[in-house]
Amino acid sequence: GQNIDQPTEMTATEGAIVQINCTYQTSGFNGLFWYQQHAGEAPTFLSYNVLDGLEEKGRFSSFLSRSKGYSYLLLKELQMKDSASYLCAACDSNYQLIWGAGTKLIIKP
Amino acid sequence: TAGITQAPTSQILAAGRSMTLRCTQDMRHNAMYWYRQDLGLGLRLIHYSNTAGTTGKGEVPDGYSVSRANTDDFPLTLASAVPSQTSVYFCASSDSSGGSGANVLTFGAGSRLTVL
């Protein structure tokens, strides 16, 4: 079956770095997405990886290893506004998105 | 502001009643989607439409129906609501429906539905 695993909750300190991991099993693979979702709001797109390696976008970076079925989202210089849930989603061979349950990130001062 | 508008924002519904959740986008995106989001679970696809005039079933379509009469509107109907349909419903759209992995979704603000 198809499956996405990511930690339920993580806690980090303002100004620090945090890495949110995601492992996936899908029928075929057409890319890995990360979305951010603040409480009570809609998910918003953060990053997309289809090739192995690191994609950097400001304070946020996303990494993909297709051979390991693994991705991570790296958040640097954490700010209080980064407190949110981070959703990992893999695109399967039918271009359908398989979503993880999300990682709730709590930032402490 | 361009984007997706969903209505209502929230609704309490008696079991057995019907309900239509409205979704309108002004980005001229071809593809539209309805997801439900429940605590502890990932977003689950209910129905989708790759282009106006076509619809398809997602992972959890039972008890729901959709129509896509034009590019902008994609309403979701619950014919006879049951308590297990209590959820937050998100409408989304994308500029491509397949053939490319860069299928970035834009989401509406969500509709919170409680079925009693």
Task: Report d(CA A30, CA B98) in Å as an integer.
Answer: 10
pLDDT at site A51: 95
pLDDT at site B12: 97
Q: Which chain B residues are within 8 Å of A94, Cβ to Cβ?
A: 98
Tell me whether A25 touches chain B (CB under 8 Å).
Answer: no
pLDDT digits (tens, 9 = 90+) for B3-55: 999 999 999 999 999 999 999 999 999 999 999 999 989 899 999 999 999 99
pLDDT at site B97: 57
Interface touch B108/A91, C-beta < 8 Å: no
Interface touch A43/B44, C-beta < 8 Å: no
Tell me whether A46 touches chain B (CB under 8 Å).
Answer: no
Interface touch A42/B41, C-beta < 8 Å: no
- The C-alpha torsion from A100 through A103 and A104 to A109, rounded to 10°, is -160
Q: Which residues contact B46 (CB under 8 A, 6 or more apart)?
A: B34, B35, B36, B58, B59, B60, B61, B64, B66, B76, B89
Task: Report d(CA A27, CA A36) in Å as an integer.
Answer: 25
Residue of A nearest to B106 (CA): A44
pLDDT digits (tens, 9 = 90+) for B92-116: 999 875 555 557 999 999 999 999 9
pLDDT at site A46: 96
The rounded mean pLDDT for chain A is 96
pLDDT at site B103: 78
| Most A CBs within 10 Å, among B29, B94, B103, B106, to test the A interface | B103
